Structure 1
Amino acid sequence: MPAETEPHTCTWMAWPSSGYADGDEARRAWASVALAVAEFEPVRLVVDPSAIRDATDWLGDAVEYFQAPLDDAWMRDIGPTFVVGPDGLGAVDWVFNGWGGQSWATWEKDARIARRVAEWAGATIIGSEMVNEGGGIHVDGRGTVLVTETVQRDPGRNPGWTRGRVEGELRRTLGVREVVWLPRGLTRDYEEFGTRGHVDIVATFPAPGTVLLHVQPDPGHPDHLVTAEIRAALPDDWKIIDLPAPEGVEDGNGPVDHSYVNHLVCNAGVVACTFDDPRDDQALEILAAAYPGRRVVGVDARAIFALGGGIHCITQQEPAIPGGES
C-alpha cells in the first residue's frame, strides 16, 4: 500500500443521501470537501440513485458520478483499500460490518461498495476474511502500518483474532513488514456513533519515520491522558510532530474528538479539517511545514464530526500506477 503522500489517480467519495444525513449542513460539508479535493485531483463520487439530482445540484460537473445503492457515506471505511503490485492496481475488499456491528448501523448496501469501486477503478480485487476499515490503518509506504488494539482485535469485528493473525493478514494484503500497535483511539470514538478507535484521527505519517500526533493539551479532557499513552507506544526512534487539538473541548454531548490529524493528502495539496477555532491557523501552519511543497486548504469539518468522523473518513485515495495513467 503506497503512502498517501505518493501520487494519486483520483480520490473516491460517497454522497450522504436522505435518511442518513438529512439537512443541508452535512451536504454542504461533503460538497466543500469534494470541491477542495477537486482543486488538486479528480474526484469520483458514488451516489445512491435516489440522490443523484441532489448531488449534481451541489457539485455540478466538478466531480465524476457513479451510481450504486448506499447506506451511508464514509468512503474510507466502506470503499476498498488500494494497493499496487507487479500487475498494477489492486483493491483490498475488507469485510465491513458497520464498525463492529453497531446497533444503529446498516451495511447491506455498503458491504458491496468496495467491489463496485474496485471494478470501476479497474483494480484486481484482493479478498480478506478480516473485518477492517480504511480508517483503522495508516501506512508509511515503506512497510510499516499503524493500527489500534480496539479495532482489528475488537470482539465485534474479529472475535478471537490474535495479534499474530491480524499481522499476518495485514502483511498479505498491504505488503507491510512492521505492525505498530497503539493501545486505543480517542475517548469520543467509543461512544454510540464512534468507530471504537480508528487510528486516522490520532496519528498519521507525513513521511517514513515521522508521525503527526494528535495532542490534547487540556488536562481536564480525557484525551489528555489517552494521547500521552499513544505517544508512549510509538517507537523511540521516530520523529513525533505534535498537532494540538482545537481549543474547543466540548459540545452538547460532552468532550469532543475534533482533530486536525484527520486530513487528506492530495496531489500537491492537503485538505485539512478546521473548526472555526483559535488553533485552526496554527494547525494549518504545522501541516504546511510537515508537507513541504503542498498547498494546505482548510474546510470546516464540524458537520462531519457531528456524524462521527472527519475529512479523511469521507475520502479514499486511488494511487497512481508508475508508468500508467494519472
Structure 2
Amino acid sequence: MFRMPPEWAPHERTWMAWPGPNLTFDDEAGLAQAREAWAAVARAVRRFEPVTMVTGPGQSAEARALLGPDVELVERDLDDAWMRDIGPTFVTDGERLAAVDWTFNGWGAQSWARWGHDSKIGAYVSDLAGAQTHTSELVNEGGAIHVDGEGTVLLTETVQLGPERNPGWTRAQVEAEIHARLGTTKAIWLPRGLSGDYGEFGTRGHVDIVAAFARPGVVVAHTQPDPAHPDHELCKGIVAQLRAETDAKGRPLEVVEVPAPTTLKADGEWVDYSYINHYLCNGGVVLCAFGDPRDKGAAAVFQELFPDRTVVQVDARTIFAGGGGIHCITQQQPLVGQG
C-alpha cells in the first residue's frame, strides 16, 4: 500500500519552481524581489539536502546566478512558482516511489490565475524523479493537506469541499479519494483557513499556514494574540477543535500554539503571516521570519520541538505578499525505504 510519509521522514531531495513573469509578480522589481526570496529558501534547504529547481525556458542562467552552483536546474514551461501546489505529492510503499498528480485548477479557477503549464508539472516532476504517477480527479494542492505518517490527515472545508474546486463532491467522496491516495484513514477537517488567505492571491484556506503535525500526536497551530485581527477568534476555535480531536491511532492531540507575528496589516490588508508554514528537511527546519519581535520566540518553539535539527530562519515577507510561504514553495521527495 502506498502512503505519504510525514515531512520529518528522510528526503531524497526538495523540488522548487522558479518565479517567472506573471500576474503575481507583474513588475520587474517585484519579480526580482521574488527571485531573491526563492533563492534564499533554496540555499537554506540546500544546506541539508539536494534541491532541484524547475525554471521557465531560458531562465536557468539568471537562476544559477542567484542560486549558486549546487542547485540542480531543469527547464519546463511554468505559469507560477508554488511547487507545493503544482508539483506531485510523493508516496511510497516502502520499496517503490510513486507520486499523486492531483488535478490543479489555479486554486479554484481564480480570475488572475493561469494553469495550462502548471497543471502538467506534477506529472513532469514525477517522471524526473522516476516515480509511478497516480493521477487523481480530485482538485487539490499539496498545501491543502498535512499528514502525520500514521493515518491522519488535516484538511480544510473551504478547499477540498469548495465549489470552486470540487463541485458535487461530498465529504465522504473527498475522504475516500484522499485516503486511497495518501494511505490515510482519518481526516480532521478544519472549517476554514486564515482571513488573509481569502485575499486576491490567497488559496481560499490552505491548512499549511494554520496547523501542521510536528510528530504523531502533536500539532503546531497558529494563534493570533491581538483581538483586533479577524483571526483572533478563528484561531481560538481551531485550537479548541484540535485539542478535542483524536488521531487515527486514537490519541488525543497535543497542540503547541505558535503566536503570529505582531504585524497585523501590509498594504492596508490583514496579513496571514504564520510561522506554521515551515519546511522540514534532512536535519533542518527552514522557518519563516518577518523582521518581527516574535521571530526569535517562534524559532525557540521549533528548536524545542526538533532538538536534533538546525533551525534556519529566512525572511518570508516577499513570499507571503505573493500568496504563500516557505512550505508553499517547497515539495519533498521521500527517500525510498525510509520513513
TM-score range, shorter chain: over 0.9
Residues 40-77 of structure 1 show CA distances to partners (whole Å, capped at 9, x for unaligned) of 00001001113112111211312001110000000000
Return the alpha-carbon distance in structure 1 between the equivalents of residues 284 and 261 of structure 2: 22
Q: Which moved more, 1:20-29 or 1:144-153?
A: 20-29
Instruction: Give the 5 Å matches for 1:134-153.
Output: 134-153=142-161
Question: Following the alignment from structure 1 to structure 2, what is the Cα–Cα distance between the partners of residues 143 and 269?
Answer: 24
Aligned pair partner of 2:182 in 168, 174, 177: 174
Q: Which of 301, 315, 320 lines up with 1:286 in the alignment?
A: 301
- TM score, norm. by length of structure 1: 0.97
Identity fraction in percent: 56
> How many pairs were matched up?
324
| Runs of 4+ that moved beyond 3 A | none
1:232 positional shift: 2.6
Q: Does 1:109 align with 2:117?
A: yes
What residue is the counterpart of 1:295 in the other structure?
Answer: 310
One-letter amino acid of the structure 2 residue matched with residue 256 of structure 1: V
1:60 maps to: 68
Q: Distance in 1 between matches of 2:240 and 2:170?
A: 22
1:261-314 deviation digits (Å, cap 9, x = unpaired): 000000000000000000000000001111120000000000000000000000
Letter in 1 for 2:211: A
Q: Are 1:17 and 2:17 matched, yes or no?
A: no
Distance 2:105 2:315 in 1: 29
Query: Which secondary structure does the structure 1 equivalent of 2:59 belong to?
Result: helix
Report the secondary structure of 1:154's partner residue: coil
In 1: Cα distance, 2:243 partner to 2:317 partner: 32
Please give the secondary structure, in 1, of the residue aligned with 2:64: helix
**Closer, same or farther: CA 323–156 of 1 in aligned 2, 3 Å:** closer
Residues 225-256 of structure 1: CA deviation (Å, up to 9, x unaligned): 11112123225221000100001111113211
Q: Tell me what 2:332 maps to.
A: 317
8 Å CA contact 2:95–2:336 kept in 1: the answer is: no
CA 1:31–1:184: 2 relative to 1, 3 Å: same
Flag the 1:256–1:323 CA change in 2: closer, same or farther, 3 A: closer
* Contact in 1 for aligned 2:99/2:134 (Cα 8 Å): yes
- After TM superposition, give the deviation of residue 16 of structure 1 in Å: 0.3
Find the counterpart in structure 2 of residue 192 from structure 1. 200
**Residue correspondence of structure 1 range 68-107 to structure 2 within 5 A:** 68-107=76-115
Q: Report whether the alignment pairs 1:127 with 2:135.
A: yes
**2:291, 2:243 → 1: CA distance?**
34
- Structure 1 counterpart of 2:325, which letter? G
- Compared CA separation, residues 323 and 274, structure 1 to 2 (3 A): closer
TM-superposed deviation, 1:198:
0.0
Moved more, 17-26 or 231-240: 17-26
Counterpart CA distance in 2 for 1:39 and 1:5 is 16
CA distance in 1, matches of 2:33, 2:199: 22
Q: Alpha-carbon deviation of 1:323?
A: 6.7
- TM-score w.r.t. the length of structure 2 is 0.94
Match of 1:241 in 2: 256
Query: Aligned residue for 1:5?
Result: 8
Give the partner amino acid of 2:235: T
| Structure 2 unaligned blocks of 5 or more | 245-251
Which of residues 36, 51, 57 is equivalent to 1:43? 51
Please report the RMSD computed on the Cα atoms of aligned residues, expressed in angstroms.
1.2
Amino acid at match of 2:200: E
Could you tell me whether the CA contact under 8 Å between 1:10 and 1:319 is conserved in 2? yes
| Worse-superposed segment, 44-53 or 115-124 | 44-53
